[in-house]
Chains A and B, each alone.
Chain A
Amino acid sequence: MAAILSAARGSRRELALLSLLGAALFFGFWQMLAISGLVSKFVLPSPGEVLIAALTMMVEPFAGNTIQGHVAASLGRWAMGFGLAAAIGVPLGLAMGYWRLLDAMVSPVFEAYRYIAPLAWVPFAALWFGTGIGGPVMVIFTGAFAPCVLNAYRGANLVERHLVEAARTLGAGSIRVMAEVLLPGALPSVVSGLRVGAGLGWQSLIGAELIVVSSGIGYVLVQGQSNLAPEIVIAAMVAVGLTGLLIDIALRLAEARIRQRWGQTP
């Protein structure tokens, strides 16, 4: 039993080695497929070509900017859309957890809204904001909003009733109850919601950039396609993946720290 457990758990180093092995197998298979001549280089460029394309774009502008410039443009839009979703979504979720009437009023619309994919908002984003900054920000917002609201709401519902009642009998008004009781009580759940929202927002952003703007990493994807440069498309995809991963790691670290500090709820 102990042997099974320790094998299942694995040491840190064993797990790291396995991860490396997995990556090596993936890239090895990709490289072999590319050099075997089975597929044309216009269908699938090799990892080496992608790396060269990425490095080139880091110094030579493509579609108006370097690749890091495009990533920065995308990150700026993401930060705005996500920030807006968090700033509106978390208080709304907490308020829904506090006032049953608001919950009853908002929930039906919200439940339907959250099944509409962020990309479905692209036509409206284009209609309302044209090619300005508002369009992509709106699409990111629609992607990040639902998890922010839902997790704040669920977190607020899990806060012990006695704490809310204690605060009210000590003379706290609604705003103070939400800020000083529901928010800290729901914080672990709120932060999980922010993490999911950040990821969904980032995914929706790329979709929005395919359509409505002329900068950013999604735009690089489209331009790579129309220039018949698949290595650029893949390089952009890698940049999207890595940036998303970095956002997630940063938020995971924040989440772990908050859970550590807030974990000792009785």
Chain B
Amino acid sequence: MSDIVFEAITKVFPRGGSSFTALADVSLEIPDKQFLAIVGPSGCGKTTLLRMAAGLEVPSSGIVRVGGRRVNGPGADRAVVFQQFALFPWKTVGENIAFGLKCKGVPRARRDELTRDYLALMGMSGTEDNYPHQLSGGMQQRVAIARSYAIEPQVLLMDEPFGSLDAQTRMVMQEELIRISRVNPRTVLFITHSVEEAVYLADRVVVLGRSPGRVTDVIDIRPVREAERWDKVASEEAMEMPGFGHLRARIWRQLRQEMQISRTVAEV
């Protein structure tokens, strides 16, 4: 079992003399092998939630559990894919992917084998000896995803992984991610500010509101996706289906409401 559980998470940041509540009493459960996307306006604390699961941030109160174990610090059982790719520029593609395996103490021959396997999975065979700066943004993010998969983590934490890619590359990467999660299913926590991306990729979508950040809606995508068979068509066709449109509209309504609420709060 590799589920992710957030239990009554509150996060308060000191801000100047006062304090700022980023997350207020957020509880959330991602069952084993489920792909959960979080959308929300900027400043709603969605990245903070992910960083807590990664062990890079500590909740002010509440507990984060991954696979039943309480998170206290980063670890290779929870791989993170960053928006900025975070590839080591002085290491080759192969060395980047092998890094986590080296930390685990995997012997060299096995490391090379796994590196080749996961590069092949990402459709990037033969690029082992390139340096990251020689690759396009999309290719770099493929390497970062391969690096995360290679350590065979219990869960994958993806923080707006396609946020810095151009629209076409982004679409290709979304389809690619669907394909990989079919070959190699994992528990995924996926942060995005794109409603389409969330609906297209996720099993469930969580909408976070802001000031303070809290769960305003949880939407199960699977029944609609299975009924309309999105996985049998290209992503742009899936996005034109009526069920997809309804889900998108529902999430947008939520987000719009959130933005109006916080505007009213700001005016008061």
Contact = CB atoms under 8 A, between A and B. Distances in A.
Interface residues of A, number: 23
A166 B82 contact: yes
Nearest to A177: B103
Interface in B31-70: 54-56
Determine the main DSSP class of B at the interface with A. loop
B103 A169 contact: no
Given A180-B99, A264-B131, A266-B133, A169 B54 contact: yes
A170 B147 contact: yes
A133 B80 CA distance: 52
B89 A266 contact: yes
Contact of A184 (B54, B87, B90, B133): B90
A266 B134 CA distance: 11
A169 B88 contact: no
Contacts of A261: 90
A190 B99 CA distance: 23
Interface string B75-108: 1101110101011111000000001100110000
Contacts of B147: 170
Contacts of B100: 170-171
B48 to A, nearest CB: 14
Contact size range, B: 20 to 34
Interface in B87-139: 87-90, 99-100, 103-104, 131-133
B205 interface: no
B151 interface: yes
B88 A163 contact: yes
B221 to A, nearest CB: 27
B243 interface: no
Interface in A245-266: 261-262, 264-266
A111 interface: no
Contacts, number: 65
A166 B103 contact: no
A41 interface: no
Contact of B56 (A160, A165, A262): A165
Interface in A220-266: 261-262, 264-266
A160 B86 CA distance: 8
Contact of B103 (A160, A165, A170, A187): A170
B163 interface: no
Contacts of A139: none
Given A162-B84, A266-B89, A167 B99 contact: yes
A170 B82 contact: no
Contacts of B87: 166
